[in-house]
Amino acid sequence: MKTIIFVAIVLTSVVAIGQPSTPPAGNAQSGKKLYERDGCWECHGWAGQGGRDGARLADTALSAAQLTRYVRKPTGAMPAYIDKVITDQELADIWTYLKSMPTPKLAKDIPLLNAIKGQP
């Protein structure tokens, strides 16, 4: 009987560990404040457009979990941010804010660029 209980506990633990954790729901207004407060804009731009020092974040294909994973262990020049510096909830808020940004126009849809190129 003790063996059955032990096996049941071990199997339950293994199943629980194997379940992917769902990221917390985000708040775009809070995310905007955090994006500004934590200085994300310094490298990624005010509109998440990216720049010399940071990747484009607006219209990102990353999921909230992928963004969190990258912020914790980046592969590029970005410094790592542990959960004591920025929590998973705060990252979920930032991700929600990034997803709320409007998608950028295509170059062909920007009149000034067409004028520079000499197209109508």
**CATH number (domain holding residue 35):** 1.10.760.10
**CA–CA gap between residue 51 and residue 54 (Å, rounded):** 5
H-helix or E-strand containing 114?
A: helix 111-117
Domain assignment of residue 5, yes or no: no
**CA–CA gap between residue 77 and residue 96 (Å, rounded):** 24
Task: Evaluate the CA torsion angle 71, 74, 77, 79 in order and state its sign.
Answer: positive
pLDDT at 103: 80
Q: Using an 8 Å Cβ cutoff, are 80 and 74 in contact?
A: yes
H-helix or E-strand containing 95?
A: helix 88-100
Domain assignment of residue 12, yes or no: no
10-residue mean pLDDT series, the chain (120 residues): 52 46 80 96 93 90 95 93 95 96 84 81
Domain assignment of residue 85, yes or no: yes
User: What angle in degrees, to the nearest 10, is found between the helix axes of 28-37 and 88-100?
Assistant: 110
Domain that holds residue 68: 26-104
**pTM flag (> 0.95):** no
